Every structure is written in structure tokens, then in C-alpha cells.
Chains A and B, each alone.
Chain A
Amino acid sequence: METEKQIIERLKNCDLQAMEELMKIYQDYVFTLAYQIVKSYTIAEEITQDVFIKVFKKIDTYQARSKFSTWLYTITYRTGLNYLEKKKITFNMTEIENSQNGDGDSLNFFETVKSGYLEDDPDIKKILWDAIDTIPQMQGLVITLYYLQQFSVNDIAEMLNIPQNTIKINLFRGRKTLKELLLKKYKQEELL
């Protein structure tokens, strides 16, 4: 089995197959992260394309001092921010967007998750991402980086170039908001 390092070495020699292999590993993550920044599937797709093209062009500048994923997500974050800047859209740091008020679905969400996470269940995944999509952008972004790629608070702070405390606060508030959103959507009495 080829390691990531070997794939990157091949990519440095402009091997398109290596690029394809890297995309297989990372495209969902890059797309998810881009979506958390721009909140639009179409634009997130465009950003994902841009990111991988940049990776192909700039792979020579990757020094392997940090993890490849850190480098990749930093490019994604900057590309997303550049897009917002061009369109003069402010990155939402605090404002809570309109939450989707649920219709009182009887699914006991957290219990279902606790009793054995249905990892491949598209419904569970959708519910979670729908909820994450409705929380403020920074909270959604930090939660995505923290839980999806299991970056440490320190890594995320370096990647986003913001203080560690801000990351911790966003994590805390993001979890709190998420619980509130999920409780709104699913019956509270079944959760507690």
C-alpha cells in the first residue's frame, strides 16, 4: 500500500494519477470545509476544484514540515475567504442564522447515536450536517476541523491564524448551539 508521502512525491513529478488518488482521499473533506465557509454547494464545488488545481501547481512548495492535510485545509480556508472577499461577503463570526424549526420528528437523535452510531446512515449524517450548516460560519468551520479531521485546538489556531481561546470558545458555543438546534428538531423528552 502506497503511503501518502509516496503519492505526494509522485504528484511532485506531475503524475495525474497521484492527483486522482489524493482527491479520492481528501475531496469530501475539502468540499465539506469549503461548504462550511461559503454555505453553497455550487460554490463549494468550484472552490474544491480551485483548491486541487492549486495543490497541483504548488505542490513543490509543500515542505512536509506540517501534515499534508493541514497544508491542504489552509489552502481551502484561504481560497474560501478569498472568494468571500471578492464577493464582498463578510465571514459570519457571531450571528446565528435562521435555524430550521423541526416538525417534531419522533426520532430520538442522540439516543440513536449513542446506542451505536450508524456511520453509513445517510439520514443521521444529513441531520448532523444540516444542523452544522445552520450554526454561525466560524463555529461550523471549527467544529468541522476539530471533529472531522481531529485537528487539535492548536493546529486549528495556526491554520486559521486566530488565538486558541477563540477556537475553544467557538467549539463550546458550536456544541451548545448544535444541541439546541437538534433538540428543537427532535423531541426533547426522549433525549433526557
Chain B
Amino acid sequence: MNHLSEDDFTLLLENEIASMPKHLIAHFNMCKSCKAIFDEQRLVHTTLVKIKPQTAPLMLTRKILIKLTAMEKTFKSNVKTDWLFLIAITVLFFVASWYTYFGSNDILTAGYFNEINEYTSQFNRPDLNSILIVPFTWLTDFSVKTIYLFMGIISLAMYWLFDNHLNGSIPTKKS
């Protein structure tokens, strides 16, 4: 004789007796062993149905709220920092682009293509040199490597900026 399975007892407890095959119901009515198991299960079941949760520590809500408030503040200050950072990056990027475009000949002269420079310097734009390059003559010390470094810093900064938002470490404020 096959006794009822653990699954069958769960069905019985959930009052799904109607969904059980007739031979199982017949067995349950006849078998004292299964009836005893069912009584045992029902006893615990009726007790557990009314169970209440354990009480969380008293200060838990307060602790969480303090953390969340701190997060909000960090978020707000981060937003300010992000804006300053973005402006700084834009300015740097603008200067870098400006110099790369208008001062390319001067950069190339920094020990790399002297011959070319000698040739191209004859065709330098005096107006642009006086207007755009001369005020930034200190920049003429820059080498190509410096420009790469510049771009590297910008890339890192952009990465930092977007990473902070994309990985969700700063909650996005919708309202």
C-alpha cells in the first residue's frame, strides 16, 4: 500500500482535497498512519497560520532614514560637483580643441617636424597667430604628448561622471 506523499499532505492542508485522486482520498480515510501524520501536520499548520513576525530592532527605521537622508545630501552635493566638473571639462576640451586646430603648426614644431615647420611657418596665418595663438604663447610649450595627457584626463573625468550615474550609486531624482 502506497502512503500519501509529502506533496499530498500539503494539498490536504491547503484544502485542495477535491483536486486529489479518489484512491488517495480513500487511502487517507483508511490508513491510520497517514491520518496520524496529517493530524500532526495540521496541528502545526493551525499554529503557524497565526504567527506574527519577529520585532525588528527599535532604532532600525531611524538608522535607515539617517542613511537615506545622508544619501540625499550626497546626491545634491554630487549634482553641484558634477556641474562644476562638467563646466571645467567643457572649458578644457574647448581650449584643447582650439589649440589643436589653430596652433597645430606650433605643436608640430616642438621637436617633431622641424623641417615641415620651417616650410609651413612661411604660410602661418599672422592674423590668427596674433589673435589666437599669441595670447596663449605659454601653451606653445605643450607637446603632442601633453595634448594626449589632456585628452586622457578628460576621458577619465567623463568616465567618472557617467559611471556615477549609470551604476546607480547616485539615485536619479525624477521630480
B window 3-30: CB within 8 A of A? 6-7, 9-10
Report A17-52 CB contacts with B as 1/0, cut-off 8 Å. 001100110011111100100000100010011001
The list of the 7 closest CB pairs from A to B, nearest first, reads A31-B56, A172-B6, A28-B53, A175-B44, A147-B48, A32-B53, A13-B175
B47 touches A110 (CB 8 A): yes
Say yes or no for A153: interface residue by CB 8 A criterion. Answer: yes
**B-side contacts of A173, CB under 8 Å:** 6
Nearest CB in chain A: distance from B160 CB, A = 19
**B-side contacts of A93, CB under 8 Å:** none
Residue numbers of B with Cβ under 8 A of A are 6-7, 9-10, 40-41, 43-57, 60-61, 63-65, 67-69, 71-72, 168, 171-175
**B-side contacts of A13, CB under 8 Å:** 174-175
**A-side contacts of B46, CB under 8 Å:** 113-114
Whole-angstrom distance between the alpha carbons of A148 and B63 in the complex? 25
* Majority secondary structure of chain A interface residues (helix, strand, loop or mixed): helix
Residue numbers of A with Cβ under 8 A of B are 12-14, 16, 19-20, 23-24, 27-32, 35, 41, 45, 48-49, 52-53, 56-58, 60, 110, 113-114, 117, 119-120, 125, 128-129, 143, 147-148, 153, 165, 168-169, 171-173, 175-176, 178-179, 182, 191
* Majority secondary structure of chain B interface residues (helix, strand, loop or mixed): helix
Q: Do A16 and B51 form a contact, CB below 8 Å, given A23-B61, A175-B44?
A: no
**A-side contacts of B53, CB under 8 Å:** 28-29, 31-32, 148
**A-side contacts of B71, CB under 8 Å:** 53, 56
Nearest CB in chain B: distance from A76 CB, A = 12
B6 touches A49 (CB 8 A): no
Count the A-B residue pairs with Cβ separation under 8 angstroms: how many? 119
- Between A and B, 9 residue pairs with Cβ closer than 8 Å are A19-B68, A27-B61, A60-B172, A110-B47, A128-B47, A147-B48, A148-B51, A176-B40, A179-B43
A12 touches B174 (CB 8 A): yes
A129 touches B54 (CB 8 A): yes
Nearest CB in chain B: distance from A120 CB, A = 8
Option from B9, B48, B49, B168 in Cβ contact (under 8 Å) with A57: B168
**B-side contacts of A168, CB under 8 Å:** 6-7, 10
Whole-angstrom distance between the alpha carbons of A191 and B171 in the complex? 55
Whole-angstrom distance between the alpha carbons of A16 and B67 in the complex? 11
Option from B44, B52, B57 in Cβ contact (under 8 Å) with A125: B52
**A-side contacts of B7, CB under 8 Å:** 165, 168-169, 172
